[in-house]
Each structure stands twice: as C-alpha cells, then as structure tokens.
Structure 1
C-alpha cells in the first residue's frame, strides 16, 4: 500500500499482514481481515477491502468496491457496501476517476449510492520525486526503453519485443530493457492460455542484441534502470492504474502506453509521453476476453501486438529520432505531472490530515456539524 499511504508520516503507522479470504471463498475477497497486532491503534486505512470494525476507517480502492466477485446471492455484497454508509467509514478514496466511475457502475441501483458517493475523493497514487530537472536526448544515443511487468503479455511484453525486432530490422538505434518474472498464458486472465503460441516471441529475449532481459528485480534496481532509460513502456491490455509509469515520471522518464482504464488520466499524449489508443468500451479494450482459448482470440492478440509495435516505431521515428528536442519537453512534462499529482510529500501530508479528521469526527457527538466544517 506504499503508493496509497504516507511514505513518511507524522503519525505512527502500523502495518500488518493481510489474510486473503478469497482463498476460502472468492466473494469474501472484499472483506478486510488482518493478522492481529499488539499495539493499540486509532484509525484504519485499508486498500480494496472493507473492515468489520467500530474504529474510524478509510478505504482506498482501484476499481470495484466491494470486491465480491461471484457473490450469486448478493448477501455479502449488501453486507459490505452497507458498511460504506456508516459514520465510522469516514472517507472513500478512489485511485482515479476511472475507479470512481467503476464504483458507480458496479453499485448501480443501490439505494444508498448517492449518499455514499458523496464520501468519495479521488487521490492518485504517490511517489517520492527523485529528479529536479528534465532529461535530454541526442541522435548519437541509442534510445533506451524500459518495460516493467510481471504479467508479461498483459502488460505489453510482446509489443516490447516486436518493437525491438522492428527497430533492429530498420537499423534504428533502440535498446529494449525487460524486467519481468514472466507470468503469461493460463495463469493470467487476459492471455490466450496456450503457452506454446508465445514461443516465437519469447525467443527474441535472447536472439536480439538490442534486448536486455533483466528478469525479476527489486524496486531499487528498477528505479535505477528507470532513471537511465529514455522511456518507460506499458502497452497494457488491461490495468486499473500503472504504478511503473508514475515511478518513471518521478525520475523524469516519460511513458509510452495504451489508453485503457485510468492511464489517460496521467499520461497525456505529446505532453509527458505517447498514448497509443486501443478501441475502448467503458474505458476497457473492446476485444478483452478472459482466458479465451480460441484461434480467433489468438489472432486478435497477435494482430494487436503487431499493430501497436508498428505504431510506436512510427511515432518514435517522427517525434524523437527526427526531432530529438521534443524529448526534453516530454521529460519535463513527466516531472511536472509527478510534482502536481503524485508527490509523496504533498499527498502524505494530506492523508495524515485525513487520519486526524477521521479520529476527531468519530469523537464528536454532533457529527453533522463537524462534517460540514471539514468537508467544504
């Protein structure tokens, strides 16, 4: 929860281990259950889960809330979302406008929706700002691009490899860095489950001399690579957010992304990166299917990856290789966005204030009076 809580707090933050109740019963995924702690605490801040507690609490969520997929009777859903209307649920933090829209759509028809929606505030994830000036690029350098994503295909790993292959064939100086533990196929919901279909692409990890495969790496290594790269790349087919992109922004690294879900809220085309659009419906890719094993779905995935790689190469040639001065503007835009909307110092201080307000609100007998005072 580092991206959604204070990284440095004036309060004592107690972190405890979350117990995944979905392993017992999938619809219970939305219920917050943690291993007990010995210390006393005043306020609870959860991520994606709704706690059963009398303490004041705040929840941050990324898409659907409550997360009760598979609740055929609706009983668990009703139990958990009713708790969102209680006084001790002080604030509901949506990670993005997309998350807020998903919440409203997911709970459409609920009689308390309008009341509860008033508690929602959009606060984007936060990162420490690690650069103070924009980066530059000149034609004598090979363009360094960093792909980070454990779900390799879903996050756009095939697009990254095909982009490197096309650049190599065209004699364009581009180096693709890959950081991934290589989850793909039947273990990832967006992928075609037949893992043999990916073999030709995966051979490019070792056969191309402009691809550097780093495997899985700790965050400090990823951030070093991010600082050394000219672009981060997240050509994802589905992603509720995209933390690696804003981590890149924190070191002045612009991004190359698709336009799904929340991503267009913080990646702005030709301002702090390049957005390569997919056809969308309700901000999700129209062709997205879950574990479809048909030949048709593989052709869709294959053609989409090929098309995205081709479009990225075209825009890099036109906008960067032919006009290298454009790069500094993108890097400056990335840093500006990080400072305005993702600065961990600013957001951390704001969250600290929310914790105090939640506690004071719970102690106040006339909650309506305090509510009007702290929520303009």
Structure 2
C-alpha cells in the first residue's frame, strides 16, 4: 500500500515502519544505509570506528521490503569523520545533508517508475526529501503524504528573526537563516503537492498558518516516550541546591541564553549541567556561560538518560521546536520538564501537574518557575511521578499504531 522514504531512519521513522508493517500497509522502505541483526553490516557496526551503522539498524522482518542507496550518505559520513568540511558544507557540499536527501528523493521517484510495487497506493516522505517523489506520484495517481518534523520555515524566520534583533550577540547561533531561496521554494512546493500533512505537535501545525496558499489537511500525531525508568529517587526537600539540566544544541533557538541568564540570577541555590555541542564557535556570551557551569559536549543516548535521572529538573525553553524529544526522554526518567509553548509541551504537559510551561523567550518566566520549585521542592517529586505516568501511556508503539491507522484512513478516503 505505502512506500516510505527517509535517508537515515531515526526513532520516529522506525516506529512508523513498525506500525505500517504490523498493519500490512508497508510495501517498501527506501533509505540510504540499513543494517539488520546478524548481517555483515551489523557486525561491522560493532567495531567502534563504525558504530554510526548501529543507528541504522532495523527490524529483521523489514529486510525484504528495504531498498538502499548508500553512496551519498556513506560519502557524508566519511567526510565528516575526516573533517573534510568543504564536502559537507550546507547545501553546496558534494555530500551535504541537503544533497543526501535529494539523492534519496530522486531515486525514490525513479522507483515509482522502475519497480513493480504491486498494490502501491501512496508515498510517505519527509521534508526536504519529497519533491521529486511527489511529482512522480502525482503522475502515477498515488496519494502523497508529507511529514513535517519541525516548524514551517516562514514562522521560524519570523519568530527567530525577532530574537536575532533582540539578542545580536547570540545571532551567530541562529543558523536557520542560511537556507537558499531555491531550498525554501522546494519546501513550499513539497507542501503544495502534499495531499495530507503529518506533524508531531500543535505548535508545528500552528506555524503552517503562515503558508501563503491553501494547504492539505494537517494531522497532529505526537511522538512518544522511551521505556520508563526504574529506581528514580528524589532528594529530600532539605538537600540543598536544585540540580538543573539542559540537553540540546547550544543555539538560542533552544533558549540556552535564557537558561544561562535565569541560573545566573539564582546564584548558589542551583547547579547547572549543560549537555550539547556548540552550534558555532565564537559566541562570546555562550563561551562565558559554559565556563561557569558543568559542560559536556556529547554523551551516548543511554548516558543522557542516566544523567536525566540524576537531576531534579530538565530545562528546555526552546523558541522554535517541532517536538523536542528530550522532553519525552526526561519525563520517561521521572525528571519533570520546564518547557515552552513553542514545543510539544502543550500536547504532553499539564502545567504544574506533570511539568511546567513558560513563555518562550522569557528569562523572567523561566526564573520565576525555578524559584517556585526552590520554595516548594516537593513539587518536583509529584510532577516527576506524574510525568512517568504520562510516559507509560504513550510508548513508541502507540505512535506507530496511531500513524498507521490515520494513514490507512486517509488512503481509503482518497
């Protein structure tokens, strides 16, 4: 019934595949690199130098449905490993992420002509990798399903453009303004061709209000939570400093300036750990802030979950986020989250029941919420336990099931 295309295959793609396969709705999956348990590629991935392959591992029963086109993605990985930065430069590098997406997109379009995919009724493709596939799908009378994982670009430029003017010292970290006019036009053309649009948060849906034209129906299906933690302990209210954690790219898109400012004003009442790579070198206020706190540039995913369990609260005051998987990761570990209305927070969190929502871009709002927890630290445990209960109700299998059900429903209607 469906051909799903994506160059890398992250967690939400894998869950979508699982949901479609379990409902006998998946005809084919096209990606760049795919490893399967027991395969030669899987064994190579056990070698430390090639551990990136492990992130491209899929369930064994998908093997016969999977088509791979590895050349561009392998080039990107090799160029990145040897720091051949000109080859992976934004848009223009031979092996840039943009070119990898378009490579898979072009071959997916060709598959619609060359491959005999019996029973194919629809294609499901993701932002920046759907244009050629959709054009051919239109000619082939196939339903065109579009996944937008992050907010619409015009809304991003409007909201973060204001932030650039307000915080010129942080403007260098806001990298979303580098997209060429050609790339932005491709994004709009993908949206124009889509017959149904799938997003993971109400905020992402709202950003599409700035699209200059009529849009297909938009379906909000939030992502999900990892397996909940066992053995989370909460410190007594009298313990002392509040242990705060930030996880994410060190860009003001994620609200890192607000985190640093809020914590600065709270002095010895809190301690902050920051996990994330710099978006760019040379941001003076960021460099100054990192010197004052514990900074870990990168950690394996499992270690991040362990670190979440060790902290009292996750701070994620993002200014523009399609979802924010760190929110669900922290909640699954029993660590409540302070986040904003420009993430999936409003879809997952009831304020002061299983976490807290503050105004995006407001240092004062973030500080006030932290101060409330300093004055009533018992709220951390009650909200943390409630966050885990929320996580129990929405495992990744539920996301896959809901997505597959909605896809089958819209295909039948078409």
- Name the TM tier (shorter chain): 0.5 to 0.7
- 1:151·1:182 contact (CA, 8 Å) conserved in 2? yes
- 1:273 equivalent in structure 2: 355
Report the Cα offset of residue 81 of structure 1: 3.5
- 1:349 equivalent in structure 2: 401
Quick one: distance in 2 between partners of 1:168 and 1:81?
47
Quick one: distance in 2 between partners of 1:3 and 1:100?
21
2:274 is equivalent to residue 178 of structure 1: yes
Report the Cα offset of residue 344 of structure 1: 0.6
- Structure number with the bigger relative contact order (C-alpha 8 A, sep ≥ 6) is 1
Quick one: distance in 2 between partners of 1:15 and 1:220?
28
Give matches, 1:86-235, under 5 Å: 91-107=196-212, 110=213, 112-113=214-215, 116-117=216-217, 120-131=218-229, 136-141=234-239, 142-169=241-268, 172=269, 174-184=270-280, 195-205=283-293, 212-235=294-317
- Alignment coverage as a number of residue pairs: 302
Quick one: distance in 1 between partners of 2:153 and 2:194?
10
Quick one: structure 1 residues 58 and 144, their matched pair in 2 at CA, closer, same or farther if it must change by over 3 Å?
same
Quick one: distance in 1 between partners of 2:231 and 2:353?
16
Quick one: distance in 1 between partners of 2:153 and 2:116?
27
Quick one: structure 1 residues 48 and 78, their matched pair in 2 at CA, closer, same or farther if it must change by over 3 Å?
closer
Give matches, 1:302-317, under 5 Å: 305=363, 307=364, 310-317=367-374
Report the Cα offset of residue 264 of structure 1: 3.0
Report the Cα offset of residue 349 of structure 1: 2.3
Give matches, 1:9-28, under 5 Å: 9=18, 11=21, 14=29, 16-17=31-32, 23-24=91-92
**2:197 aligned counterpart, secondary structure:** strand
Output one character per residue of 1:346-371: Cα deviation in whole Å (capped at 9) or x when no partner.
1122334456667xx4xxxxxxxx41
Q: Which moved more, 1:45-54 or 1:17-26?
A: 17-26
- 2:358·2:366 contact (CA, 8 Å) conserved in 1? no
Quick one: distance in 2 between partners of 1:76 and 1:184?
26
Report the Cα offset of residue 239 of structure 1: 2.7
Report the Cα offset of residue 214 of structure 1: 2.1
**1:5 aligned counterpart, secondary structure:** helix
Output one character per residue of 1:28-85: Cα deviation in whole Å (capped at 9) or x when no partner.
99x8541758998656432224342435553221322899976489975674344214
Quick one: distance in 2 between partners of 1:166 and 1:352?
47
- 1:3·1:125 contact (CA, 8 Å) conserved in 2? no
2:335 is equivalent to residue 335 of structure 1: no
Quick one: distance in 2 between partners of 1:233 and 1:75?
35
So what's the TM-score if we normalise by structure 1?
Answer: 0.65
- 1:292 equivalent in structure 2: none
- 1:6·1:344 contact (CA, 8 Å) conserved in 2? no
- 1:300 equivalent in structure 2: none
So what's the TM-score if we normalise by structure 2?
Answer: 0.59
Quick one: structure 1 residues 228 and 356, their matched pair in 2 at CA, closer, same or farther if it must change by over 3 Å?
same
Output one character per residue of 1:237-288: Cα deviation in whole Å (capped at 9) or x when no partner.
333332211111122221012333543333332112222324xxxxxx5xxx
Runs of at least 5 residues in structure 1 that lack an aligned partner in the other structure: 86-90, 186-193, 206-211, 279-284, 286-303, 362-369
Runs of at least 5 residues in structure 2 that lack an aligned partner in the other structure: 1-8, 33-71, 74-87, 157-176
2:59 is equivalent to residue 59 of structure 1: no
Output one character per residue of 1:322-357: Cα deviation in whole Å (capped at 9) or x when no partner.
xx2x223201321233344x4212112233445666
- 1:299 equivalent in structure 2: none
Quick one: structure 1 residues 161 and 15, their matched pair in 2 at CA, closer, same or farther if it must change by over 3 Å?
farther
- Which has the larger helix fraction? 2
- 2:104 equivalent in structure 1: 34
Quick one: structure 1 residues 161 and 79, their matched pair in 2 at CA, closer, same or farther if it must change by over 3 Å?
closer
Quick one: distance in 2 between partners of 1:156 and 1:76?
28
Quick one: structure 1 residues 82 and 157, their matched pair in 2 at CA, closer, same or farther if it must change by over 3 Å?
closer
- 2:228·2:391 contact (CA, 8 Å) conserved in 1? no
